[in-house]
Structure 1
Amino acid sequence: MARSIERIGPYEGIAELASGGMATTYLARKTGEVGFERLVVLKRVHPHLLKEPNLRDMLADEARVAASMRHPNVVPVEDVVDASGELCLVMPYVESLSLGALLDAARRGGERLPPAVASRILLDVLAGLDAAHEAKDLRGEPLEIVHRDVSPRNVLVGTDGQARLIDFGVAKAARRITQTKSGIMKGTIAYMAPEQLRRRELDRRADVFAAGVVLYEAITGERLFDGRDEADVLIGVLADEIPRLSETALGLSPAVDEVLEAALCRDPEERFASAAAFAEALERALPPAPAREVAAILARLGAAEIERRREAVRVFLDQPRIEGAMENAPRRRSSSRAIVVLASAAALAGGGFLAASAMRRAAPSPTRANAGVEARVAWAREVVVVSTNTALTEAPGGSGAAAAPSAEARPAAGAATGSARPKAPASRWDLHANPYRAGEIGDNRR
């Protein structure tokens, strides 16, 4: 049966990938003269939002930031469509899995990524970050980009063995048309630098910290800052000791510990000054595997998923097509959901536009069961929100971090009932879910 699709300029919609509060992403085919065709991803703003004030400016910011970089380790925005009642960003299609999905697949198989493979992936990420941090506009003026949301779900590991950084939707940049409102955090709590959590001025060193957290997770397969709830995670970022990998079963060189410590210093003045400096130290301490080894691991751990996507694309392209509207296209279910995680849906579903603070989520109705958590969230607020009359004390060791109360001083989870809140699973993702869905700030996901 013919499927209803839509052509927007040279872009022919093939299938819906995912939908969120701001936009829907589609796998699409770009066609041109003499039989030219190429797969792309369209991020299409919901029509009913087109009259929202500042929406075009927000999308323009995202497009301008991503388009300013032409680097093999960054997924760019290639085009903006603003015509005939449509507003879309166009991105290249990359056959890949997110690093978060790859780590989940390894965990389900009872294994970790080889440290040299983790090093290769992170060196690619750091190269992409360095390109972003050094990017200039068409006048040659520095854009001063800070990604602000470096995490495993925003790293694509391609079938070519190359990792790419995606989703600059919440990036900070000079001369943005729209600016982040005061007091609003953008990013994912478990990967935010302490200064980001404290709502201080950010520079590229915030991304260095986040990349350090991702490196730890890529090597160990476990999250560095994990917890039963957001307050636990926030406290961990501000105060928890960083484990030394040389003292674990991994048996890595102490030089790797030194690299992680330099990346994860809570005082940005003591951190690596740039992604390039981080990369140089990492390459010395943990020599990377070649890209072909990364590709081989992806092929082994993600073989079924990658093949399902390829087959889905073949089926879509072989079906007869008629002109119609994207919103009327039937949503595919069961096995066809495999393409939901097509890689370049990186910026999907309004991925940079949702910017609710972690501490402003709608709370459940007050009960004895959640009173303990509420107390700990309140404690975390006091740590993070520093007024002009409050000074954070130096943590032992001179790291510049705020000295957090001891475990005994922290309000305990479940304190109101005497029962501990069960720990959340390490990850909520699987290969058939979309690892790039937009979430609220503080979403405790990869």
Structure 2
Amino acid sequence: MLQDDPIPLSEIGRIARLGPKVEVFGDYYLLERVGIGGMAEVHRARRFRLPTVDGKSFLKANHEPLVVLKRLLPEAAANPDFADNFVIETDIARLLDHPHIVQTLDSGEVDGAFFLVMEYVSGVNLNTLLGRLAARRQEMPQALAMHLVCCVLDGLIYAHNMQLPSGRKISVIHRDVSPHNVFLDFNGRVKLGDFGVVHIDEMAGDSAGVIVTGKLGYLSPEQVVGESLDERTDLFSLSTILWECVTGRRLFYANPGEQDMDVMKRIRRGSIPDPRQFVESLNEGLAEAILTGLRQDREERFHDAKTMQNALKPFSPWSVDQGSKALAKLMAELFEAEHALFVQDQQHGLLPKV
């Protein structure tokens, strides 16, 4: 495999550790698998291209930024329904272009394997951040919690009010808003990812969607009972995240000896503890806003993402720039080793420009 320029040391180190596990897939080499689910596997990858020199084609590392490649598993690709759903996911993802949504860069099929390529967010997800804070017995600053949630709301406002080039309006409902799908990078950016379980609600005409459940602890009551979904489903899930960020504890979780069904029953009952039970100093107005987003009856929740954001803004003291800087500082402190690798990759131009 020929190349004009040496691969940066940080990249060489990764390849050396992986050895023969590095796989060339289409125009990409797959550095390492970072996740696998029932339908697809996710790899951290880097793109190659095929230039022609003296009439001969060869692979050349062009030092494009790192990306995330999601590939449909063979057993899933063999199922026409799964394959069709993956293509639908790709089509939907390509519509989304917003600073607070993980961007889709490429998609296609290689030897019968469908794939989707997304931007690489160099950092961790919110679930990992919350876990690290808990392990160190640290609380998330309330201002930071508000910043994170308002950023996600920006993305949801956009997705819930999509307008196609044709002028047709659609509402793209995420249906799996959870800390696992809120990505935070070392530059302080906040992005909502994994729109692979979305539901498109036509603002005019019939609705259609891919029926896949989200994370158990962040499901809405209507998801639990199998009712139709709308934008307020995403707002319930995001309010669950905000409740968790503010109190430092999970809202819906399985106690020892409990089954998933027990958690679903609690979600369905709609008995939500006031966050002030755990944070006495919490502003009454903020507590009420959180509880409004968590109403069992969706008609009693915020009507849309913009209304929820407006209700939270008075309790969000930071500007976007202040929030980004505070997040970047906290990330560097909590994840020193990962941050050092991020700095290396950034110096070698392996990361997307911000």
TM-score, length basis structure 2: 0.80
Name the CA distance, whole Å, in 2 between partners of 1:232 and 1:140.
45
Equivalent in the alignment of 1:257: 287
Equivalent in the alignment of 2:56: none
Asked if the contact 2:201/2:230 (under 8 Å) is kept, the reply is no
Return closer, same or farther for 1:177/1:224 CA change in 2, 3 Å cut-off.
Answer: closer
Equivalent in the alignment of 2:126: 99
Partner SS for 2:104: coil
Name the CA distance, whole Å, in 2 between partners of 1:84 and 1:97.
32
Matches within 5 A, 1:330-345: none
Name the CA distance, whole Å, in 2 between partners of 1:303 and 1:146.
35
Partner SS for 1:21: coil
Asked if the contact 1:193/1:209 (under 8 Å) is kept, the reply is yes
Gaps of 5+ in 1: 318-341, 343-446
- What displacement does 1:107 show? 0.3
Equivalent in the alignment of 2:98: 71
Match of 2:306 among 267, 276, 289: 276
Partner SS for 2:80: coil
Matches within 5 A, 1:119-268: 119-174=146-201, 179-180=209-210, 186-228=213-255, 229=258, 230-246=260-276, 248-268=278-298
Name the CA distance, whole Å, in 2 between partners of 1:56 and 1:231.
30
* Matched letter for residue 294 of structure 2: L
Partner SS for 2:200: coil
Name the CA distance, whole Å, in 2 between partners of 1:137 and 1:130.
15
Partner SS for 2:162: coil
Equivalent in the alignment of 2:331: 298
- What displacement does 1:46 show? 2.5
Gaps of 5+ in 2: 1-15, 52-59
How many aligned positions are there? 314
Name the CA distance, whole Å, in 2 between partners of 1:297 and 1:120.
13
Q: Greater CA deviation, 47-56 or 80-89?
A: 47-56
Partner SS for 1:173: strand
Identity of aligned residues (%): 31
Name the CA distance, whole Å, in 2 between partners of 1:233 and 1:120.
29
Match of 2:144 among 102, 117, 133: 117
* Matched letter for residue 254 of structure 1: E
Asked if the contact 1:121/1:162 (under 8 Å) is kept, the reply is no
- What displacement does 1:65 show? 1.7
User: 1:118-144 CA deviation, whole Å, 9 max, x = no partner?
Assistant: 111111111111111112334232232
Partner SS for 1:41: strand
Name the CA distance, whole Å, in 1 between partners of 2:188 and 2:342.
18
Asked if the contact 1:6/1:13 (under 8 Å) is kept, the reply is yes
Name the CA distance, whole Å, in 2 between partners of 1:245 and 1:129.
24
The answer on 1:57 being equivalent to 2:87 is no
Higher-RCO chain (CA-CA 8 Å, sequence separation at least 6): 1
Equivalent in the alignment of 1:3: 20
User: 1:344-374 CA deviation, whole Å, 9 max, x = no partner?
Assistant: xxxxxxxxxxxxxxxxxxxxxxxxxxxxxxx
Aligned alpha-carbon RMSD (Å): 2.9
Return closer, same or farther for 1:6/1:180 CA change in 2, 3 Å cut-off.
Answer: closer
- What displacement does 1:250 show? 4.8
Equivalent in the alignment of 2:55: none
Return closer, same or farther for 1:58/1:240 CA change in 2, 3 Å cut-off.
Answer: closer
Name the CA distance, whole Å, in 2 between partners of 1:313 and 1:19.
27
- What displacement does 1:177 show? 11
Name the CA distance, whole Å, in 2 between partners of 1:177 and 1:25.
29
Asked if the contact 2:221/2:296 (under 8 Å) is kept, the reply is yes
Equivalent in the alignment of 1:396: none
Name the CA distance, whole Å, in 1 between partners of 2:310 and 2:342.
36
Asked if the contact 2:39/2:82 (under 8 Å) is kept, the reply is no
- What displacement does 1:94 show? 0.8
Q: Could you list the runs of 4 or more consecutive aligned residues of structure 1 that deviate by over 6 angstroms after TM superposition? A: 175-178, 309-314
Asked if the contact 1:77/1:91 (under 8 Å) is kept, the reply is yes
- What displacement does 1:255 show? 1.0
- What displacement does 1:59 show? 1.0
- Greater fraction strand: 2
Q: Greater CA deviation, 121-130 or 227-236?
A: 227-236
* Matched letter for residue 265 of structure 2: I
- What displacement does 1:310 show? 6.9
The answer on 1:17 being equivalent to 2:44 is no
- What displacement does 1:179 show? 4.4
Matches within 5 A, 1:401-420: none
Return closer, same or farther for 1:179/1:73 CA change in 2, 3 Å cut-off.
Answer: closer
Equivalent in the alignment of 1:337: none
Name the CA distance, whole Å, in 1 between partners of 2:229 and 2:37.
28
- What displacement does 1:291 show? 1.2
Asked if the contact 2:200/2:207 (under 8 Å) is kept, the reply is no
Asked if the contact 1:107/1:221 (under 8 Å) is kept, the reply is yes
User: 1:38-67 CA deviation, whole Å, 9 max, x = no partner?
Assistant: 211111223354332123311111112222
- Greater fraction helix: 2
* Matched letter for residue 251 of structure 1: S
